[in-house]
Amino acid sequence: MKELKKGDKAPAIKAKSQNGETVELKDFIGKKVILYFYPKDNTPGCTTEACNFRDNYQSLLKDGYQVLGVSVDSEQSHQKFISKFELPFPLLADEDKKIVQDYGVWVEKNMYGKKYMGTARTTFIIDEHGIIQHIIKKVDNKNASQQVRDLVK
C-alpha cells in the first residue's frame, strides 16, 4: 500500500468503539477529526498522550475537532483504559489490524534488538471533507494536542 500524504483522501474506517458501537469516519463529514494511532492501552507513553488529549478536549471541541483514538486492543481493553483515565472521546478497536494497515502505521519495530510488528504512534488531522491535512509522525506524547494546534493555526 502506498504511503498516505497530506492532501490524500483519508481511508474509510468502520470499527467498534469501547461501547461496541460502530463508528465510521464518514459519520464525521462536516467536522474536523484528530485521528490518533497509539501502540497499546495502559502503557506509559500512550497514557500520557491520551491524557493530554483529555486535558485539552474541551478546547479542541470548541475549535471544531472530534478526537478518535485507534489501537489494536479490544473493546474491553479500551473500556478499562477510558474508565481508569476518564477519557471523554471514543477509542476504536482495530483487532483485525485493517485500519492500522490502511493508514500505513502497522510497521516493523525494534526493541532491544528484537523485531516485531506494531503500531507506529501517528496522528492524522482530517478536514471536514475527509481529506488529510497533516500527518504527525514524531508525536510528542506530553504535548500531542499542542502539536495539532501548531499545525492548524
Is 46 assigned a catalytic role? Answer: yes
- Please count the other Cβ atoms lying within 10 Å of the Cβ belonging to residue 11: 17
Report the alpha-carbon distance of residue 27 to residue 78 in Å, rounded. Answer: 21
Residue whose cell numbers read 502539536: 147
Helix-, strand-, coil-residue percentages of the chain, each rounded to 5: 35, 30, 35
Cβ proximity of 49 and 36 under 8 Å: yes
Catalytic residue from among 15, 46, 50, 125: 46
Residues identified as active-site: 46
